[in-house]
Every structure is written in structure tokens, then in C-alpha cells.
Amino acid sequence: MRVKWAKWTPSPNFSAREGANVECVVIHHISLPPGKFGGGFVCDFFLNNLQPDAHPFFEKIKDLKVSAHFFITRRGKAYQFVDTDCAAWHAGKSEWLGRAEVNKFSVGVELEGDMSSGYTESQYKTLGKLFKELKKAHPAINSSSLTGHEHISPGRKTDPGPLFDWERARKLL
């Protein structure tokens, strides 16, 4: 499924779901360079167009091939990189409810943020709008389907972190 109101920006970093249905939504945060918002670097990263000489941190991640289904900026603008009928490469080594390979049965949503900045009203508003679309297209999604990268990859990942309002997000879903 493509969301009509999200800016379609197709990433090459995806694969087939191999028959799996979408059952969960994984919330992440990202800022590139770390702690900086805006600038278009997140989109470049998911499109394999990040220039390593643009910032010293980018040299460390230049060879990574990752994506998310959606990216929501601080102002609430949504980008879609991968059709939800395909698997985006967002979860890495992960497990949800005893099942590995979370990419195969999840939708990944990146929020522009970090561990020290709260999420914006605009981001929650867009997230709620996105959840409505996801539930229509993937009926197995419900409020218990929501999880964070920190939950599916404990010890390896910490996002979206303690400033994400899980209660509010579950009400939106």
C-alpha cells in the first residue's frame, strides 16, 4: 500500500515479505547527523545517496543499506520509501513475540528525533493519520501491534526512547 498524502520517495532497500502478513508497527527515531534535524540527510540515507564527506559521522554509515516504510519529520511531513506490501530494512536483528526477522511482518516508521528531544505535536498528528491508513490496509494491526526498535532489539537499540508517548500512540492506533 502507498499512502497518497505521503511523499513517495522509493528506496532500493527492500525485499519481499515472503507470504508474511503485516502484524506490527515498529517505531524508530533518526537524526542525521546525530542530534541535528532537517537537511534532507535521512532521505539521502534511505536512498543510498548519503555523501560520506558531508559530515564525519556519515563515513561510519556510508555502506549501510537500510530503509523504513515511512519517515515523519519534526513538522509532520511524511515520506514513504517502501510500499507496505514489501519489507523495508529497518529492524535488523530483531524479535517480536518470539518471532525473528521482524522486517518480514512489520511496518517501520522513523520519527525525526533523538534521545534528548521530545516528539512534536505535528509528528503525533501525522502518526495518527498514518495509523488509520495502515489499519485499513493491514487488518491485523491493532493497539497491541505497536512496538519500538528498543523492544525488538533490546541491548542493541534504544529508540524511540523514553520521550516517546506510548500511551498516546496506542490511543491513536
Q: Are 109 and 130 in contact (CB under 8 A)?
A: yes
Domains of the chain from N-terminus onward: 7-172 (3.40.80.10)
pLDDT for position 2: 98
Pairing of strands 87-88, 7-8: unpaired
pTM: 0.97
Could you say which of 18, 95, 101, 110 is catalytic?
110
Side-chain-facing half-sphere of 73: CA atoms under 13 Å: 14
> pLDDT tens digit string along 31-89?
999 999 998 999 999 999 999 999 999 999 999 999 999 999 999 999 999 999 999 99
Quote the distance between the C-alpha of residue 119 and its chain's center: 14
Angle (CA) 69 75 79, round 5°: 20
Asked about 110 being catalytic, the answer comes back as yes
What does pLDDT average to over the chain? Answer: 97
Angle (CA) 40 153 35, round 5°: 30
Mean pLDDT of 11-16: 98
39-to-34, 100, 143, 160 alpha-carbon distances in Å: 12, 34, 33, 20
